Structure 1
Amino acid sequence: MRLEGKVAIVTGSAQGIGEVYARKLADEGASVVLVDIKGEEVEANAAAMRAQGARALAVRADLTQDADVAHAVARTVETFGHVDILVNNAALYAGYIHHTMAELPLDYWQRFVDINVTATIRMTQAVIPEMRKRGRGKIINQSSTSGTISGNAYGLTKLAVQGLTVAFARELAEHRINVNCIAPGVTATQATRDHYPGEALDELVANVHLIKRPATEEDHAWALVYLASAESDMVTGQILHTDGGAILLPI
């Protein structure tokens, strides 16, 4: 197993891609801390993982609150001794498609920034001291193809995440802390199906993916394992697009 002995924190792991990320890291031998504002759901996921032999801990946390973030990191260290891997996956997604930038309420925009951008900074800052103690670490941020080719509120925050990835990679390289980013394309999660019911999802994929199928959570999880493992020790500041070639298509 490629992550035996490692300890990983995965935010936004109550459902969807984050839940699959947590399970995949555990399958590769990591001890995993599942962090989400949805406390019951994330505890159920952790319990199911423990029942299958994984080392998993659930922590309910609102990532817009400094105290909750500090608590999540402290519980990780108390339980497993250290932090090797941080996956900044938590994000606000639902509803973005219904607003143009010209009409977007600013309080709604601020909510996007708080969760999608500032929480990524907050969590990263919280784990840096622990990783520096270890002399190494892997931080993987979750962006989106929308961050490269879209101009809506969600895409703009995901573009900011890509910028943060590069900024932190520059600052932390001397401490052997790698910072990279996964940018998924259209993924057949429940949230996506809610936005694109019936045949709408297939029509969307036909227009935006060179590989004519939606991505699965597993597609992104394999990229995560690579970026979390020793195989990527010479990789930092990179945006890995798991998008079926979407960024190669003309806008």
Structure 2
Amino acid sequence: MIHKILHDKPTKLFLAFAAFFVANALIAECIGGKLFSLEKLLGIPNADFSLFGQQHLSFTLTCGVLLWPLEFIMTDIVNEFYGPRAVKRISYTAVMLISYAFLMFYTAIRVPAADFWLGSQTKNGIPNMQDAFNGVFGQGMRIIVGSLVAFLVSQLVDVAVFHRIKKATGEKHIWLRATGSTLVSQLIDSYIVLFIAFSGIFSWQQILAIGIMNYMYKFTMAIILTPVIYIAEKRIEKYLGKETARNMKAAAMGREPETVIPTAG
């Protein structure tokens, strides 16, 4: 049984997608506590926007957004070949494992530290390793909850929009369903996490302004990365074989495959 599973190309591909999707989401959550300036990264002047009465806004983003575009691509590819149930399954798995990871981070923070370890990095400018550890892994619970809720809701919205567009356009215009679903889902994602994490801390004007700045980045990345969807689709079709890929796409849309899918390889 296991031998057959490990030699089934669609199964092996799905396992690889699921593993990368979950790992990428977890890493993005872990590094999301660091903020960076997009303008400094690109070596350009600050954007200096004014929105909703908020002055001198710039693209200050979390490091997590560096990885989230890969999640958009993975979601659309899995949706294309395996369907909405597969996307929901890996999304639920990601949320459960991220929740488990943060529970372990919380536990690790509470475990008493060894005395010699506390000052072990003093020569490197870190006077207290416990404080440093807490600062990296001890994100606020509201941010964690907001991030997880936003991730799950945006994934479900992405699935629904993707398939609604695909039903209307058929196999053509993959750019439209991939980009369109991402643009809708990430608008929702941007504001859910901000309202849960910062409601009562920031004014609604600040939340709206920050959300738009974040969404502008995600909007731009969704457009830039659209060709990657086409490249990935071609590589997957080559790996699976055109007949298998065609039948998988049909099954993903709830249609009967035209022929029996050859799985060994």
TM-score (ref. length: structure 1): 0.30
| Structure (1 or 2) with the greater helix fraction | 2
- The structure richer in strand per residue is 1
Q: Normalising by structure 2, what TM-score?
A: 0.29
